Amino acid sequence: MNEPRQKGSGRQRRPRVPESLRKRTARACMPCRQHKQKCNGGVPCARCQQYSRTCFEGPPPDMSTDKDRHMKRIIRHFLGDISFDAGSLEEVADNLENSHQDEEKDEISESYSLDPLSTNTMHYSGEFSYWNFSKMIQRRLQSLGNVPDNEDEPDRSFRATGLQSSSSCISSAMMYFPPRNIAEFLTDTFLEFAQTNYYYFDETTFRQKLEYYYTNKQPLTIHDAGWVCTLLMTLAVGTQFAYMQTKPAHGTPVSENIPDDHVGLELYRFSCRLIPDLITIASVETVQAFLLLGIYTLPIDTSGLAYTYYGLAIKMAVQNGMHRRFYRRNADITTVELRNRLWWSAYSLECRISILHGRPVSVSSAETDADMPVDIPSITSSRVSNLPNFTAVIFLTSRLSEACNTIKSLRRCPRNHQSGYLDKLTTIRSRLRAWWSSLPSQTHCRDLNPDGPLFRCNVHLELNYTTATIYMGRPFIFSHQSGEESPSSTRSDPMTDLRVDSLNAAIRAIELCQLLQNSGGLARVSYTEFNACRAALLALIAHGLNEATDAISTSLTQGMSLIRQMCVGLESARSEVAVIEALERARQRLNSRSQTENTVTEASGYDQFRQWARLWRSEPVTSTPDLELQTDTTVPSFDGFFSSFPNELNAFAAIPGSEENLSLGSNWMDELQIPDDPLNLDSAM
């Protein structure tokens, strides 16, 4: 019956420990304490000798802080029982750092690749491309001692030049170059009025190329298309701002038939014929060319042609790997910096247009890790550097993108999750306000001295800032009715703060536009100025529906006068202004009707009878004078604006689940009943 007990059949009895080993020391060593084992004392103790570990006595628990103890526990968890003396820790840290650098190099070499094809063209292969996978197989074969034949390796520098027509129009480009002195004048005009807070080309290289093409006697080839288009479109944009170099007499309106427009249009039309060559070449210069094509069309067709050109600039930049960090050794620092500046100009412009006009962004922020622009001595300019403003615009665009994503999540989330997104949006706004206060106030960014060298650039930067503030607050404008007390819920305060911020930003935007008008004049082809004024007017009209204050009415009157000056000669802009005027007239009539109803309620019965009698006899009732409109009765084209206007107006709708929702039906334009003559709004009311 004395069969051995099967393993696991019952509770095992612990072996008896000799009495000599049952003695404990008054204070255990650190390894025994960490493993919660009995220690017999001594250095080394018996258990540390048994398990071949370093035995040492640490400080008493009351002499070691909680932070140190927890840190040591974490280190031992990942590295085992190591000594914490200075020499051992230094050796472990050096080994970890060296191994991390080796792993990082291997990871970078396998993540993506950038290989030069020429001085201005790169080939980019992404992380999961077939090409990079084939290169990984090749490295594996090399490690096994079997090197593939190099002559079987395909050519990576392939460009589909065979698809191009042999009779490229680039050979006739010199016919469109103006006289040299005119080209210099238009270049200076572009740099002064059009470049503002972005970067489109290196001025030194640009003037060298201008000199080359004016003195070159050799026939042009397809490889000249990038710089030729860059030069011509710079001159074309210069024609749009050429009138800004003059000072018209006070009160003289800008003519709608400016001959400069025809010159710029011819340069643009010829440059469009070079687009197939630009796409085929896909060089750094083509990124410049498409950026300038976008600038020219920005005030004409923002969400159409300009958005398309900026998208092409992004595609050309991605093909050259400009959206990624440049890791090649011995790379020219000037070339790398120019790539970074062009990329961030294209990315910021396309991202901003996409957000404000309801278009998808081509490249998300998670897909780009290019270095931010920095100041280097080799890049110079004849003017004060706009680099601080440029980097500020990049940061402002990233915060606008973050706010856009938060607002989208807020619209789609359940009601019980709204408070979290509201707090996040409020945090974005608070950080943006603190960032704006930290910007320099001398020369750059916040210096609004009209005599300063970057006055217009700084005003444009603040206009972008106010536009972003309006964008973050306008979804909450209709979230409550005027005169009602806000509920005591925690989510009402952020909405109120954002709403008030949007109102103050709208008033500030009108003030900035007036400052520009008083200090040199508004530019009728400046998207930044027109867009800020338009956004401010729409926000003021929306706020005026809640409560028509004197400040709102004053800013509306001032803003309408300014935006009419900016839309002269631009059909698309004029149609947008006509719609804004229609909305303001409707708001004024609604306000007048409300005042009339209040007067009727307070009047006596006889007064009410007399007022009804006048209406019965078709006699007009005295009302508040309406806003004075344009005398121009030309019917503008609404095609370019109505396609996106419902989306822009719906952006003022309240967040689902708030106190009051404003939703516009698909037939809201039919209910507006715009007359044949949009400026004669009496028939529509």
CB atoms within 10 A of CB 623: 12
Is 298 in the same domain as 176? yes
Find all residues with CB under 8 Å of 638, minimum gap 6, and list them.
575, 578, 579, 674, 678
- Residue 4 within any structural domain of the chain: no
Among residues 548, 540, 550, 481, the alpha carbon closest in space to that of 505 is found at 540
User: Is residue 494 within 8 Å of residue 425, measured between CB atoms?
Assistant: yes
Q: List the Cα angle 437/541/470 in 5-degree steps.
A: 25
Which residue in the block uniquely carries the two structure tokens 């960032």?
A: 435
pLDDT band at 631 (very low <50, low <70, confident <90, very high): very low
Q: Residue 574: its pLDDT value, please?
A: 85
134 pLDDT higher than 90: no
Domain termination residue (choose one: 36, 56, 76): 56
The answer to whether position 40 is within a domain reads: yes
Residues 321 and 440 in one domain: no
Percent of the chain topping pLDDT 90 = 45
CATH number, domain containing residue 38: 4.10.240
Instruction: Identify the pLDDT of residue 598.
Output: 59
pLDDT of residue 677: 44
For residue 595, the surrounding DSSP H or E stretch is helix 571-602
Region 110-123 average pLDDT: 74
The confidence score (pLDDT) of residue 632 equals 44
SS percent in the chain: helix, strand, coil, step 5: 60, 0, 40
Residue 18 lies in a domain: no
Residues 373 and 502 occupy one common structural domain? no
Spatial CB neighbours of 255, under 8 Å, sequence gap ≥ 6: 568, 569
Residue 373 falls inside a structural domain: yes
Do residues 235 and 374 both lie within one domain? Answer: yes
Q: Are 472 and 585 part of one and the same domain?
A: yes
623: DSSP letter? -
The H or E element containing residue 461 is: helix 455-473
Structural domain boundaries, residue 349: 170-246+257-383
455 shares a domain with 343: no
Residue 91 has a pLDDT of 72
Q: Which of 474, 418, 407 is nearest to 657 (CA)?
A: 418
Same domain as 473, residue 360: no
pLDDT-derived band at 537 (thresholds 50, 70, 90) equals very high
Q: How many domains does the chain have?
A: 3
Q: Among 383, 417, 449, identify where a domain stops.
A: 383
Task: Kindly state whether residues 235 and 323 are assigned to the same domain.
Answer: yes
Tell me how far the alpha carbon of residue 193 is from its chain's centroid.
22
Same-domain pairing of 441 and 576 = yes
Name which of 21-35, 149-163, 391-405 the model is least confident about: 149-163
Count other Cβ atoms within 10 Å, centred on residue 488: 7
Domain check: are 201 and 312 in the same one? yes
Where does residue 453 rank: exposed (0-12), middle (13-18), buried (19+ CB within 10 A)? Answer: middle
Query: Does a structural domain hold residue 440?
Result: yes
Specify the pLDDT at position 256: 52
Q: How far is the C-alpha of 420 from the C-alpha of 62, rounded, in Å?
A: 41
Using CA atoms, how far apart are residues 420 and 412, in angstroms rounded to an integer? 13
Comparing 275 with 35, the larger pLDDT belongs to 275
Q: What is the pLDDT of residue 372?
A: 94
Residue 228 within a domain: yes
Select the more confidently predicted residue: 548 or 139: 548
378 and 441, same domain (yes or no): no
What pLDDT is attached to residue 63?
46
Q: Residue 157 — pLDDT band, cuts 50, 70, 90? A: low
Confidence band (pLDDT; 50, 70, 90) for 221? confident
pLDDT given for residue 647 in this prediction: 44
- Structure-token pair, residue 223: 């490889």
Residues 24-83 pLDDT 10s: 566 788 888 888 788 888 788 888 888 878 888 765 544 456 677 778 778 777 776 677
Q: What is the pLDDT of residue 437?
A: 95
Asked if omega into 44 is within 30° of 0 (cis), the reply is yes
Q: Are residues 283 and 353 in the same domain?
A: yes
Which of 1-5, 426-430, 607-611 tops mean pLDDT?
A: 426-430
125 contacts: CB under 8 Å, gap ≥ 6: 112, 113, 115, 131, 132
* pLDDT score for 283: 92
Looking at every residue in the chain, the average pLDDT score rounds to 79
User: Quick one: pLDDT at residue 169?
Assistant: 85
Q: How far is 322 from 659, CA to CA, in rounded Å?
A: 47
Residue 669 has a pLDDT of: 38
Are 629 and 679 a contacting pair, CB within 8 Å? Answer: yes
DSSP 252: P
